[in-house]
Structure 1
Amino acid sequence: MNNTSLDVPKVTRQNKENRLSGNMGVGELAMNVLAFSSPLATVAGTLPVLLMFSGQTAPAIYIGVTLMLLIFSVGFVKMSRSVQGPGGFYSFVTAGLGKPAGLGGAFLALIGYIFIGFFAPSFFGVTLQGFVASTLGGPDIAWYWYALAITAVTTVLAYNRIDLSAKLLTIVMLLEVAVIIVFDIASFSANGLETVQSVGFALPSITDATLGLALLFAVGNFFGFEATVIYRDEVKDPDKTISRATYLAVAGIGLFYAVAAWAFIAFLGPEKVQGEAESNTVNLFSDAVTGLVGRIFADIAVLLLITSVLACMLSIQNIAARYSFALASDRALPSFLGRVHRRHKSPYVSAVAVGIVWAAAIILFTVLGVAPEVLYPIASGSETFAVLLLMFITSLAVLVYFVRRRSFAPESVWKTVVAPVISVLFLGAITYLAIANYPELIGGSQLLTIIFMTFTFALFLGGIAYALFLRSKRPHIYAGLGRQRID
């Protein structure tokens, strides 16, 4: 039912010519999510950092985070069935906390995803430059040419119908998962069943000084699953597909990385894993794969790592383009960004705009002489915080939305009250840890911490201020913010 007394936007139906369309199923949507987390990049890059902070407790930390995010998914999925619009968190926050907060959340999402995505071109450029020059003995081409090339490729793919991206991402993800499974099996086999069983799952202590950072990095590996709702108009049977893909993605990511962490511990030994991860963070995975399976397989893994970055970047570009499209459709951004391709039914202008922003940033930082090794940790870490903050705000919006509805539409207490309360507490704690450990998150100084944290909160507050301006000066635009169908 509709209840305008709760300041919920009235229904605004898009005409078919300006509506996104696709035919993704559960598996393809889940693979889009998995691509965001970039399995090989996570296992080769982030997981050694997590092991450095957590040691043999890493698998248990992944399991714990998985359980918490599954609880978050309960209210999240319930909200996706009640707020039936393709605006993602933008629609959710609007429905729960009002239009100003919704617009602030939309700006956090859009800029956050664009910034996170910018880690990929620089990382891709450096990785491919080294592989071509050192491993293949080819020419030493500057990193920024590779970075511009990958930006062009993902932009062409994002320009097209989402089904093309989904098929490509599915193939790449299956290959990546296969490589990591081979690593897991090789690690467990090399040490014998008794050794593997003796490793077990050590539980972290609440007094561990590095537990906060370990939790923070673990939660970051799950980002992307929350974007399932942004594809509502591009999947088959949205209510079933979104809910199943969300649960599958969260559970799959958590178990997958827990087993990979367990494989590292089995290979290196529970007593040595933390020290090895600290002393050999960058090459921990490649050295382990080389020792277990051989150099040729390790080189194949590097090639798939390169394609993994491409898949991750494409996934992020698709999400950012859809947030841009949603805002433009509501006229909060220039209307041309809300155009839909007649044949591909994709947000092609927004997709190209994101690619242009990334290309311009690559050129700018190249001219300024900023090293790519400096760019990708800051781009990834700073706006990981933006997405985390948005998830916390969304969890609060979900709770408020269902609590306000209980007087006239009471539903399951577990789905609409208990699970959302647990989510608010959990994500609030993780957000606090991100603030407390922000310098480690971005690998930067206190000055950079102040700059980027201020910028992040300014995005949310700026969106609120912009919404209030629209309410005062352009009420016809304000009335359409967060357009959705409310059941």
Structure 2
Amino acid sequence: MNVLAFSSPLATVAGTLPVLLMFSGQTAPAIYLLVTLMLLIFSVGFVKMSRSVQGPGGFYSFVTAGLGKPVGLGGAFLALFGYIFIGFFAPSFFGVTLQGFVVNTLGGPDIPWCWYALAITAVTTVLAYNRIDLSAKLLTIVMMLEVAIIVVFDVVSFSANGLEAVQSAGFALRSITDATLGLALLFAVGNFFGFEATVIYRDEVKNPDKTISRATYLAVVGIGIFYAVAAWAFIAFFGPDKIQAEAENNTVNLFNDALVGLVGRIFADIAVILLITLVLACMLSIQNIAVRYSFALASDHALPRLLGRVHPKHKSPYVSALAVGLIWAVATVLFTVLGVAPEALYPIASGSGTFAVLFLMFITSFAVLVYFIRRRGFAPESIWKTVIAPIISVLFLGAITYLAIANYPELIGGSTVMTAIFMSFTFALFIGGIVYAFFLRTKRPDIYARLDRQKID
């Protein structure tokens, strides 16, 4: 459930999907199906690796096993930074959305967005502080409601526009050299982030080998088909020849206007309420993942040991949960004092965080390939799972990473200066982790020996 909450179905359909339609038009369903296929191939090596590298460190553990501790530590810093930045989109987005709903729909007081942002940060931090099953109960309720909204949208759209509209989606992809295809792929891949959580929660589930395999494949297939159908419903409502222009001219309100046209204003307002609620679920899911990276690094003594403490009652990494929440709260106050508009914050936060995690996925795919090639001499296994699928993943994620670099200004919605700052910081973070690991190997070999002490089968 944490995996699906991370992908934020309603936020994706209402926010990200119109952007993807702006770049891809009627080929959006094909974009999602292509990405689903590629990530399923990535999952082949990912799942196989999870059975060999039995640790809850996620990409941190996999990169360490395949490419060594220095690169693994650099990857862990990328993951921690990426997820904290991705999560920071939520306070500002929540604040602006709730502020507008209270003022414009309810006719309530105009409370500054930062107070709403601080409130949601406090709530998710309290939930992350507690046991993960408490969080899962909340996520289940929210997910069922938001999925129901989207299913209603899909069914009504297809029903209202007939068989011809249902058949109107285009499944022929544009040229690989088309810049809009690259941007569409970038946004689509970002919708799948979070399925790594199936490995991160290894120590918190029963029969992890079976659970991780099933959860990973179901998450990728479920997310891909769900969004492909939603994109198809948009096309059915607006028409294949008009959808791209509609998305360009009305990106922010595309979903809301479609709902109003199909089922009326009251239902659309209910969807906005759920959209506000799901941001909490999404933020909580991201916080849980970031917290576990912080906990893993602290347990290895690469970060202050205080962050590795476990609550005696809740059995949760509560200090790391408090630390992530405090970072978000301080950042909210800081940007408010500096006068930075919240609308400028969430594209920068989510875009830069997305690039960091995408870059880490590329490194991980290469690490999986290297790991199994090294083992073929003494423990040969299925060539499809250990060689062919990882090679395809390296090529695909390498191409997407290149497209992310080439289109970074559009990804973060920023200027050339902002692009230089955030991209340089991302690469510096990765390289800095590698340098720090070499420092530990020379000056603190006891800590270096502890780095990602996963069990390798």
Q: For the superposition of Structure 1 and Structure 2, which TM-score range results when normalised by the shorter chain?
A: over 0.9
Give 1:406's aligned residue: 376
CA positional deviation for 1:198: 4.1
Number of residue pairs matched by the alignment: 457
Aligned partner of 2:272 in structure 1 is 302
Tell me the CA shift for residue 194 of structure 1.
3.1
Greater shift, 207-216 or 292-301, is seen at 207-216
CA deviations over 1:41-70 (Å, ceiling 9, x no partner): 100110000000000000001000000000
Instruction: Please name the residue that 2:89 is paired with.
Output: 119
Q: Which amino acid aligns with 2:409?
A: P
Q: What's the counterpart of residue 248 of structure 1?
A: 218
Pairing of 1:205-354 with structure 2 (within 5 A): 205-354=175-324
Question: Does the aligned pair in 1 maintain the 2:29–2:170 contact within 8 Å?
Answer: no
Q: CA RMSD in A?
A: 0.8
Matched, 1:176 2:146: yes
1:185 maps to 155
Distance 1:55 1:440 in 2: 18
What is the CA–CA distance in structure 1 between the aligned matches of 2:139 and 2:416, rounded to whole Å? Answer: 38
* Cα distance in 1, alignment partners of residues 120 and 448 from structure 2: 37
Query: 2:435 & 2:168 partners in 1: Cα distance?
Result: 57
Q: Partner amino acid for 2:64?
A: T
Q: Distance in 1 between matches of 2:112 and 2:2?
A: 30
**Match of residue 39, structure 1, among 6, 9, 30:** 9
Deviations 1:9-68 (A, max 9, x none): xxxxxxxxxxxxxxxxxxxxxx21111111111001100000000000000010000000
Matched ranges for 1:64-213 at <5 A:
64-199=34-169, 201-213=171-183
Residue in structure 2 matched with residue 470 of structure 1 by the alignment = 440
User: Cα deviations across residues 313-337 of structure 1 (Å, max 9, x unaligned)?
Assistant: 0000000000000000000000010
Equivalent AA in structure 1 for residue 433 of structure 2: G
CA deviation digits over 1:353-399, x for unaligned, max 9?
A: 00000000001001111110010000000110000000000000000
Q: Is the 8 A contact 1:391 1:427 kept in 2?
A: yes
Match of residue 4 from structure 1: none
Corresponding residue SS for 1:479: helix
Distance apart, 1:203 and its partner CA: 3.4
Describe the SS at the equivalent of 1:225: coil
User: How much does 1:251 deviate?
Assistant: 0.3
Output the TM-score relative to the length of structure 2.
0.99
- TM-score under structure 1 length normalisation: 0.93
What CA distance in whole angstroms lies between the structure 2 residues aligned with 1:440 and 1:199?
26
Indicate the residue corresponding to 2:327 in structure 1.
357
Give the 3 Å change call, closer, same or farther, for CA 254–336 of structure 1 in structure 2. Answer: same
- Which range moved further: 311-320 or 187-196? 187-196
Alpha-carbon offset, residue 199 of structure 1: 4.0
Whether contact under 8 Å (2:2, 2:197) holds in the other structure is no
SS of residue in 2 equivalent to 1:87: coil
Unaligned runs of 5+ in 1: 1-30
- Say if 1:72 and 1:395, in contact at 8 Å, map to a contact too: yes
User: Counterparts of 1:324 and 1:358 in 2: how far apart (Å)?
Assistant: 15
Matched, 1:429 2:408: no
Does the Cα contact within 8 Å between 1:61 and 1:204 map onto a contact in 2?
Answer: no
